[in-house]
Structure 1
Amino acid sequence: MFKNYLKVAFRYLRKNKAHSFINITGLSVGMAVAMLIGLWIWSELSFDKYHDNYDRIAQVMQQETLDGTIRTERTIPLPLEAAMRESYGSEFKHIVMSSWTENHTLSVGDKNVSYAGAFMGAASPDMLTLHMLKGTRQGLTGPNGILLSQSLASALFGENDPMDQLVKLDQKAVFKVTGVYDDLPQQSSFHNLAFMAPWDFYVHAKDWIQRDPANWTDNSLFMYVQANDHADMARLSEKIKHIKRDRVGAAANTSQPALFLQPMRKWHLYATFKNGVNTGGAILYVWLFGIIGIFVLLLACINFMNLSTARSEKRAREVGIRKAVGSLRRQLIGQFYAESVLIALLAFMLSLAWVLLALPFFNEVANKKMFILWASPVFWLACLGFTLFAGFIAGSYPALYLSSFKPVKALKGTFKAGRLATVPRSVLVVLQFTVAVVLITGTLIVFRQIQFARDRPVGYSRDGLIYIETSSTALRDHFEAIQEDLLKSGTIMGIAASSSPATGVNNSRGDLDWSGKDPAMTAEFGNIGVTTTYGKTVGWQFTAGRDFSSQFLTDSSGLILNETAVKYMGLKNPIGKIVQVGTKQLHVIGVIKDMVMGSPYEPVKPTIFRMGKAGFFDYMNIRINPQASAHDAIDKITAVCRAYAPAEPFSYKFVSEEYAKKFSDEERIGKLAGCFAGLAIFISCLGLFGMAAFMAEQRFKEIGVRKVLGASVLNIWGLLTKDFVLLVLFACLIATPVAYYFLQSWLLKYDYHTEITWWIFAAAGVGALVIALLTVSFQSISAALMNPVKSLRLE
């Protein structure tokens, strides 16, 4: 029986080549989109599962109430480690401290490379279950051991055995290689960790730690824990909640610090906090693209259902004959299901080809390294189930509808589908274009939001501005000489050192006091140290006062505020006012327009700028002379820096490029949404093309008669297209409120966001209407230009 079903199905596909091509192509594109989205979702959901202790690892984070707003921080103070071990050490298998993961210079002989790494506790390799290629996970127990990733070990030692070899870090400390681990995958939060150095060394090497190791207000470090087996993470989180508050006492009452555990399973998908509440994060896009994948596949299935039911009259006699010779309805249903499953299987094979072609582009846009899991039985079982499901969904309505025809009427030729027969097809067309218009509108809003943030005034000039991160002291110690050489060359306009780059605020503090401050007020100010030429180099825009100057010795105790800081502090005439920062009395000498250094979608943080010496700062900022060639200027900067720090790998970053990276997530979402919107339109138009072709064929003789009676091409074009135009317009009306609801919710997660205007919906609707009209018009005009003799000669 099944073999017969397949034979008949193949014959039908061969006989109706155009109809089969549209069905298979449309369904294969829908399946390819669903498969790509499925691979992307699998990649997102499997984030951090590389680590065997994935479900028991957590990061200790804290929340503080500052001026009525709850702020969530990943960093914690150093004394917390001892307090955690003392009070709750038995609750955890591992408690690990870590520095920031930053670029460092590693040297072996004359070879110098720059890789990212961190100083971490001795238990971190066990906690992260590193796959050791050489050595053991106990390589950090000594004060001078270092673990290298396989790629870093190859870069330093090539084919030679790295074990027990010496590596110089930042041209200062020497470490012995005690282990080599397999590179961590991109789907790990620690994927850029190229080396791990001992935590004890970091604690003893940092002057700021040695000066005040019991400082509970300096949140500069990270803490990771691994809970005991079968421990309740929520219960542990509640137990450690008040450790910091109890230790710092009354001084912390205003900020109300509260610790909590953020499980590793939430690091990637639930990383966003707003006013103390976890509002999600990447999980939003997992749901979003999952829904899009389902809808795009549904659009392809709709095409199959529409074209199958539209051709119902042509298959009515077939159904009548089969029923007359004894076929049961369930057998007819089986026949039509076999056809749809066969089409789905053929579409699946074609979809694999589409996925192979699209994966390189998709990986680039999604910033992933996905691939088809050829060797995975789960993948093939999922694909088979996925294909059968699509086949049954696509064939369900045609199977049930076509098998219901009455044999007597069908054989007499008196069977008519009736006016109501077109209603389901119309509903499905409306659904198709509703989805397409929503996706088009979403794409427009995403890119409008990106452009809105791009156009935001940033308070300085990014053109020709670069910065160099000085990982060792060589460049910092020779800053004045480098400055003199570069200015003499004429290739730069300015150079300055700072404690943070122009695209970020690395330090903050809350111990500020000033006249008129409310005692209950708590705030965290960005704290940036700069040299005197910083303002000129980055292009500060002053609203009051002046810049730092080497001509005024008192500027060593001077302070420059941004506008947000002035408003927050409530200073009416800020110039000359005294602000106490820690134990120092500083006077305000200038106010600048807000520099957008953090997220372009968030309000600017109140920030203070203090003058300091270049030797203490980690960043060198350089403004390239616009009259000079950027290539020549970079070559000159490179040569000068290497002359003073020959052992330090030279690297630089353009501020404009680093600022552009802040839009990468939204741009990625916009590009993906645009691709899916285009494919949704393509699938919808493919179905519309098939429907228009069928209607032109069905009204073949009517068109001939109308032409003989004097109808023009325009009249016939209008006759064949008006129904489709009405359906698309109706889809636009439905899509508008749906798109507005979801997009407005998405925009509200940004503090700085664009507004949704009417022209966006108009543009999406007009675009969909024009595309649909062009699709239908091809068939309509072809039918209208046909010679009427051909359609009437058989009468």
Structure 2
Amino acid sequence: MFKLNLKIALRNLWKNKGFSLINIGGLAIGLASCMILLIYVAYEWSYDKQFKNSDKTYVVYQNLVASGKTFSWPWTPNVMANEVQEKIPGVKYASHSTYPRPNLITVGENRLSAKVVFTDPNFLKILDYKFIKGNSNQVLKDINSIILTKSFAEKLFGNEDPMNKTVKLENQDVLKVSAVIEDAPANSSIVFECLMPWTLFEKREPWVKESNWGNNMCLTLVQLRDNNLFSSANAAMEGIYKRNSKDNVAVALLHPLTKWHLYSDFENGKSVGGKIDQLKIFLLLAFCILLIACVNFMNLSTARSERRAKEVGVRKAIGSTRKSLINQFFLESILITFISTVLAFILVEISLPYFNNLLNIKLTIDYTNSGFWIALFSLMIFTGFVAGSYPALYLSSFEPIKVLKGLKIKTDSSVSVRKVLVIGQFVFAACLIICTAVIYQQLNYVKNKPIGYNQANLMQIAVEGKMHDSSKLELLKTQLLKSGAATHVTSFSSDVTEGGNNTTNIEWEGKNPKELISFNHRAIGNDFIETMGTELMSGRALSSQLKNDTNNVMLNEAAVKMMGLKWPIGATITFWGNKMTNVGVVKDFVVESAYQKVAPMIFYIDNHSDASVMLVRLNPDQNISSSLAQIDEIVKGIEPNYPVNRKFVNESFEVKFQDEKLLGTLSNWFGGFAIFISCLGLLGLALYMAEQRKKEISIRKVLGATTGNILTLLNKEFIKLVAIANLIAFPLAYIIINKWLSTFEYRISISFLPFALAISVSIVIAVLTVSMQLIKVAKANPIDALKYE
């Protein structure tokens, strides 16, 4: 029986090539879209889960109430790990480490900037990276040792065995390679190229040895013996700051490592979401696209009902049961789904490189993974049964006597079901159009919002090696200005677009002693205002040439407002226990997130001791390429041992919009696919109605109706369906997009424009799709339809 049903299914596919092509194409696009989204979701979901005991591993966070807001950071004091290991019940291992930072690693003439993590032996007990060479129990104990990742070892030594060979760190410390491990996975929150002992970090940075519960400078990882002990361990963590430092009001908590990437947003000290919200959107998108592909299949299959009616009648007359007919139609559906899946695979493999480039990751299909094949088979069977369910039940319900006598099949219920399905498709398509339009509006609003400084031609150069010497930095500034490549140069204590140092240790007259206010503080050099391209709202700029300016500061507008200073110039501020005088007010400018309000900032003179970058305003009258070549030459002349590390500020700023751009781009692409598949569903309904109303159209033509009259008449019904779909979509889209916008402090107001765009686009697409099919029927010779009457 199966063999016979398969032959019939194949014959039907071949006989109706046009229908088969549309059906297979629609399902293939739907499956391919769904697969790409699911591959991406699976990749993000697997973050930090590759370790054996990842489910028992936690990141120590601290909550601090300041400026009326609770700040949550995975930054902790250097003494946290030992305290947790010794005092917190249920802890198996606790480790402290630096976050990955660039350091120069040298082998002979081979000089490379590597992502380095300084840590202790417990780090590799918590995160069990695979060792290729070396003993995992002996590493990170020798102060002059280093662990390399496989790819970085190849960069340094090529095909040679790196074991026991030596490398130089920052042209100072000679380190012996004690082990080689597999590369840190790309879907890992901690990505590095080298691991070095914490004792070496203490040797290079002597201040690290000091026990200071107020200095949050490292990452602390904790592994529990059993997750049943989590509640007691987390409760004991809560007061760890206060137990060790009476005046410290910070609160510690354990945050699961497996949720670190996906649940990184905190509100009032509790995890409320993050990247997981985006993944939920993509999962919903994947499901809806597949669903509308199935709906499209239903519409196209039932549109051929009259052609299949006699087949059903004959088969029932010779003894076929309804069950066998249902099996037949389900087999056809699964066969089409199988062919669509093969085509979807081809589409996925073709499109993955594009999406990898777009997402800046490396998504691949692991064909050796049995879980992948199980998921794929389940998806295929699910799609086949969902897509074939309505056609199988509807087509198998025909009564043989009626269809064989040539009586008209009652179609009212099937038409209404198909209309509901088409409306459902366009509800989803309209929602996507509205949401995508609002995402782009929000993105453009924030990107074009005044940021308080001039990004054009502003570049930053990382201060490395010899450049940490103040005389070398002064020489660099002099040579850059003399070359004509730059018009202004200054130093800055951190990357312009990244978060810098924060403190609550600021006092002023009138401050509520019980209130903690968090300030961003930055060390700046001479000509800061001119180089940044910002404004001095009042007072004067700081200058290293004025001796008293070592005791002076500048505030930004947000700080003046927060402090409630009526006369900010000359105001006395206690900064880290030192009395300082404010001499200027700087216009607010964005240094971290463009989506949040500018934080209170305090600026003090640098004298080059705290500089991490040099800000360079390029000469607009000189060719950029030649300016960059000159800058590279000057930097190499001062510090030849390091590769020149420079970047434009606007490029760094653009990275901040990556998540929103990704959401907008994927919504755009898959929204387009959803609209295309919806059009195929509409085409199915148009084909069905054209078949059902052939005689009516012919009679109208005989009575004098023009092609235009007939098209207008038939299109009215489809426009009505699309209009109903939009009316349902509007409130749904408004709720969804309003919830998304509520997470931003700077947000647009939702206008009518995206809704107008949605209804306009959907109606135009519907009319074009339907008219392309109906025009053939409207132009047909009426004699062909009426000659048997």
Give TM-score scaled by structure 2 length.
0.97
Q: Which residue of 1 aligns with 2:584?
A: 590
For the pair 1:262 / 2:255, whether they are aligned, the reply is yes
Query: In the alignment, residue 753 of structure 1 is paired with which amino acid?
Result: R
Query: In the alignment, residue 443 of structure 1 is paired with which amino acid?
Result: T
SS of residue matched to 2:367: coil
> Shift of residue 397 of structure 1?
1.1
CA distance in 2: counterparts of 1:186 and 1:441, whole angstroms: 34
SS of residue matched to 1:484: helix
CA separation of 1:648/1:418 partners in 2, compared to 1, >3 Å: closer, same or farther? closer
Give the alignment partner of residue 658 of structure 2, picking from 651, 657, 664: 664
- Summarize the alignment of residues 120-159 of structure 1 with structure 2, pairs less than 5 Å apart: 120-137=119-136, 138-159=138-159
Q: Any conservation in 2 of the 1:527–1:608 contact (CA below 8 Å)?
A: yes
Q: Any conservation in 2 of the 1:476–1:617 contact (CA below 8 Å)?
A: no
Q: Which residue of 2 aligns with 1:93?
A: 92
Q: Which residue of 1 aligns with 2:344?
A: 351
CA distance in 1: counterparts of 2:170 and 2:156, whole angstroms: 14
CA distance in 1: counterparts of 2:544 and 2:293, whole angstroms: 70
- Post-superposition CA distance 1:619-658 (Å, at most 9, x none): 1111111111111111111101111111111121110000
- Summarize the alignment of residues 768-787 of structure 1 with structure 2, pairs less than 5 Å apart: 768-787=762-781
- Post-superposition CA distance 1:396-453 (Å, at most 9, x none): 1111122222222222122332433311010000000001111111111111111111
Query: In the alignment, residue 92 of structure 1 is paired with which amino acid?
Result: V
For the pair 1:377 / 2:370, whether they are aligned, the reply is yes
For the pair 1:441 / 2:437, whether they are aligned, the reply is no
CA distance in 1: counterparts of 2:557 and 2:442, whole angstroms: 24
For the pair 1:737 / 2:748, whether they are aligned, the reply is no
Give the alignment partner of residue 342 of structure 1, picking from 335, 338, 342: 335
Q: Which residue of 1 aligns with 2:670?
A: 676
CA distance in 1: counterparts of 2:439 and 2:588, whole angstroms: 25
CA separation of 1:228/1:421 partners in 2, compared to 1, >3 Å: closer, same or farther? closer
For the pair 1:47 / 2:47, whether they are aligned, the reply is yes
For the pair 1:108 / 2:102, whether they are aligned, the reply is no
For the pair 1:420 / 2:418, whether they are aligned, the reply is no
Q: Which residue of 2 aligns with 1:236?
A: 233
- Summarize the alignment of residues 563-602 of structure 1 with structure 2, pairs less than 5 Å apart: 563-602=557-596
Q: Any conservation in 2 of the 1:57–1:263 contact (CA below 8 Å)?
A: yes
Query: In the alignment, residue 507 of structure 2 is paired with which amino acid?
Result: D
SS of residue matched to 2:657: helix
> Shift of residue 516 of structure 1?
0.8
SS of residue matched to 1:750: coil
- Post-superposition CA distance 1:365-398 (Å, at most 9, x none): 2333112222222222222221111111111111
CA separation of 1:476/1:274 partners in 2, compared to 1, >3 Å: closer, same or farther? farther
> Shift of residue 791 of structure 1?
4.4
Q: Which residue of 1 aligns with 2:27?
A: 27
CA distance in 2: counterparts of 1:11 and 1:410, whole angstroms: 22
Query: In the alignment, residue 472 of structure 1 is paired with which amino acid?
Result: G
For the pair 1:712 / 2:709, whether they are aligned, the reply is no
CA distance in 1: counterparts of 2:439 and 2:361, whole angstroms: 21
Q: Any conservation in 1 of the 2:105–2:170 contact (CA below 8 Å)?
A: yes
SS of residue matched to 2:4: helix
Q: Which residue of 2 aligns with 1:225?
A: 222
Cα RMSD (Å) of the superposition? 1.7
SS of residue matched to 1:614: coil
> Shift of residue 709 of structure 1?
2.5
CA distance in 1: counterparts of 2:430 and 2:345, whole angstroms: 27
Q: Which residue of 1 aligns with 2:642?
A: 648
For the pair 1:700 / 2:694, whether they are aligned, the reply is yes
For the pair 1:763 / 2:762, whether they are aligned, the reply is no
For the pair 1:468 / 2:461, whether they are aligned, the reply is yes
Q: Which residue of 2 aligns with 1:18?
A: 18
SS of residue matched to 2:118: strand
> Shift of residue 204 of structure 1?
3.3
CA distance in 2: counterparts of 1:207 and 1:484, whole angstroms: 32
> Shift of residue 545 of structure 1?
1.2
> Shift of residue 308 of structure 1?
2.2
> Shift of residue 792 of structure 1?
4.9
- Post-superposition CA distance 1:228-277 (Å, at most 9, x none): 2455223311121101112211x23xxx3211111111111111112222
> Shift of residue 541 of structure 1?
1.2
CA distance in 2: counterparts of 1:475 and 1:781, whole angstroms: 76
- Summarize the alignment of residues 617-636 of structure 1 with structure 2, pairs less than 5 Å apart: 617-636=611-630
> Shift of residue 596 of structure 1?
0.6
CA distance in 2: counterparts of 1:360 and 1:263, whole angstroms: 32
Q: Between 578-587 and 276-285, report the one with greater CA deviation.
A: 276-285
CA distance in 1: counterparts of 2:329 and 2:90, whole angstroms: 62
Q: Any conservation in 1 of the 2:573–2:582 contact (CA below 8 Å)?
A: yes
Query: In the alignment, residue 684 of structure 1 is paired with which amino acid?
Result: S
Query: In the alignment, residue 299 of structure 1 is paired with which amino acid?
Result: I
Query: In the alignment, residue 64 of structure 2 is paired with which amino acid?
Result: E
- Summarize the alignment of residues 240-639 of structure 1 with structure 2, pairs less than 5 Å apart: 240-249=237-246, 251-252=247-248, 256-474=249-467, 476-477=469-470, 478-639=472-633
Q: Which residue of 2 aligns with 1:161?
A: 161
> Shift of residue 671 of structure 1?
0.7
CA distance in 2: counterparts of 1:354 and 1:3, whole angstroms: 30
Q: Any conservation in 1 of the 2:303–2:687 contact (CA below 8 Å)?
A: no
Query: In the alignment, residue 139 of structure 2 is paired with which amino acid?
Result: G
Q: Any conservation in 2 of the 1:340–1:395 contact (CA below 8 Å)?
A: yes
Give the alignment partner of residue 747 of structure 1, picking from 718, 735, 741: 741
Give TM-score scaled by structure 1 length.
0.96
SS of residue matched to 2:454: coil
CA distance in 1: counterparts of 2:574 and 2:580, whole angstroms: 6
CA distance in 2: counterparts of 1:695 and 1:117, whole angstroms: 67
- Post-superposition CA distance 1:539-561 (Å, at most 9, x none): 12122112123453222212111
Q: Which residue of 1 aligns with 2:182?
A: 182
CA distance in 2: counterparts of 1:658 and 1:504, whole angstroms: 9
Q: Any conservation in 1 of the 2:148–2:193 contact (CA below 8 Å)?
A: yes
Q: Any conservation in 2 of the 1:316–1:415 contact (CA below 8 Å)?
A: no
- Post-superposition CA distance 1:727-750 (Å, at most 9, x none): 011000000001111111111112
Query: In the alignment, residue 308 of structure 2 is paired with which amino acid?
Result: R
Q: Between 501-510 and 699-708, report the one with greater CA deviation.
A: 699-708
Calculate percent identity across the aligned residue pairs. Answer: 38
- Post-superposition CA distance 1:327-362 (Å, at most 9, x none): 211111111111111111111111111111111112
Q: Between 166-175 and 662-671, report the one with greater CA deviation.
A: 166-175
Q: Between 350-359 and 75-84, report the one with greater CA deviation.
A: 75-84
Q: Between 615-624 and 474-483, report the one with greater CA deviation.
A: 474-483
- Post-superposition CA distance 1:266-301 (Å, at most 9, x none): 111111112222111121122221111111111111
CA distance in 1: counterparts of 2:463 and 2:228, whole angstroms: 43
> Shift of residue 214 of structure 1?
2.8
Query: In the alignment, residue 338 of structure 1 is paired with which amino acid?
Result: L
SS of residue matched to 1:688: helix
5+ long unaligned stretches in structure 2: none
CA distance in 2: counterparts of 1:786 and 1:328, whole angstroms: 38
SS of residue matched to 1:368: coil
CA separation of 1:418/1:474 partners in 2, compared to 1, >3 Å: closer, same or farther? closer
Query: In the alignment, residue 219 of structure 1 is paired with which amino acid?
Result: N
- Post-superposition CA distance 1:474-508 (Å, at most 9, x none): 35441111111111111101111111121123211
Q: Between 91-100 and 679-688, report the one with greater CA deviation.
A: 91-100
Q: Any conservation in 1 of the 2:507–2:574 contact (CA below 8 Å)?
A: yes
SS of residue matched to 1:386: helix
Q: Between 688-697 and 525-534, report the one with greater CA deviation.
A: 688-697
5+ long unaligned stretches in structure 1: none
SS of residue matched to 1:36: helix
CA distance in 2: counterparts of 1:511 and 1:480, whole angstroms: 31
SS of residue matched to 1:217: coil
